[in-house]
Structure 1
Amino acid sequence: MDIILESHIILSLLGIVCCFWVIAGWFKGVFRGYTTLICLTATFTASLSGFLLPADELRPSHLVGLLSVILLIFAINSLYVEQLQGGWRIIYIISALASFYLNVFVAVVQAFIHIDFLHGLAPTQQELLFVFTQAGVFLFFSATAIITIAKPALPPAI
């Protein structure tokens, strides 16, 4: 494995762990500033580093990475420039969660490809286990968005 791929994987996993910690804070009404910064930075950098991986053609992963970068730009702007004021709070929640979702979605795909046990259970990624796993991930992030938007405003970002 080369350094770019290793860095991409580490950044993706760091982003996932930090983002789940940030989401846990949202449920408690706590803003985790440094963890949020790490989450957004790691996820943004992981999304960009995916374009450095060898590829002969445009792949779906490139489109997911591009969408993630766009969503993260909205999330970062909403949080650090607009400071979650007015409608920017909802834009932040939706764009941040959508980018986090894409990172987890790709991690699940990669897990079913590269972890022998999971690959054996769903070798084509069309099996019910894979579909239900991805549906569960989608439902988690959708429910989180609904709950977080319905809660009172997050504490100030800065």
Structure 2
Amino acid sequence: MYVLILTIVHTAISLVALATGPAVVADLLGSREREGMTKLFLAMALLTSATGFLFPFTQILPSHVVGVVALVVLAVTIPARYRYQLRGAWRWIYAGGAVASLYLLVFVLIAQLFTKIPALTAAAPTLSEPPFAVTQAAAFAIFAVLGLLAVRRFHPAAALAPSTAG
């Protein structure tokens, strides 16, 4: 019963992070920020990785390694935004970290889809076949470009200026 409830909660949190992450990245690319959306994404990304470690396990799995990497990324990204207020290098650290955080969520989503959807499982039953590798490589390439663009385009003075919209 514990694992079922944890699975439901973990999945719901992950879906919220995956739903809000693209909006945060789009905002970075447009050099703007919606504070509530950003806080929701970062909190849900953090909770996704943290709750992943609550599942019973007997050995370290690739999902644990990804979870640790995601937590390390967030351990730098969140203070870059909220403690250091995007000053100096913290601007690009935050922008790159937010994109990397979403990428890691998508990386795990792709792995989950290949293990849960029969047609994808048939195409890559061990997750070492070309369809899985090509999908992950495409995701990596897309997020690498998004990360570079976010780092170049996101400027905190414009993003954090008080809104004049009524």
**TM-score, normalising length: structure 1:** 0.92
- Measured in 2, the distance between the counterparts of 1:91 and 1:29 equals 14
Structure 1: gaps of 5 or more residues: none
Q: Tell me how large the CA RMSD over aligned residues is.
A: 1.6
Match of 1:39 in 2: 41
Matches for 1:2-151 after TM superposition, within 5 Å: 2-151=4-153
* Corresponding letter in the other structure for 1:156: L
CA deviation vs aligned residue, 1:50-97 (integer Å, no higher than 9, x gap): 010111112221121111111112111011111111100111122222
CA deviation vs aligned residue, 1:83-119 (integer Å, no higher than 9, x gap): 1111001111222222221111011001100111211
Aligned structure 1 segments of 4 or more residues deviating by more than 4 angstroms: none
- Identity fraction in percent: 33
State the structure with bigger RCO (CA 8 A, min sep 6), 1 or 2.
2
Match of 1:156 in 2: 160
Between structure 1 and structure 2, the one with the greater Rg is 2
Offset at 1:36?
Answer: 0.8
- Measured in 1, the distance between the counterparts of 2:51 and 2:106 equals 16
Distance 1:124 1:152, change over 3 A: closer
Distance 1:20 1:157, change over 3 A: farther
SS at match of 2:53: helix
- Measured in 2, the distance between the counterparts of 1:46 and 1:141 equals 19
Distance 1:69 1:152, change over 3 A: closer
SS at match of 1:45: helix
Structure 2: gaps of 5 or more residues: none
- The answer to whether the 8 A contact 1:44-1:72 is kept is yes
**TM-score, normalising length: structure 2:** 0.88
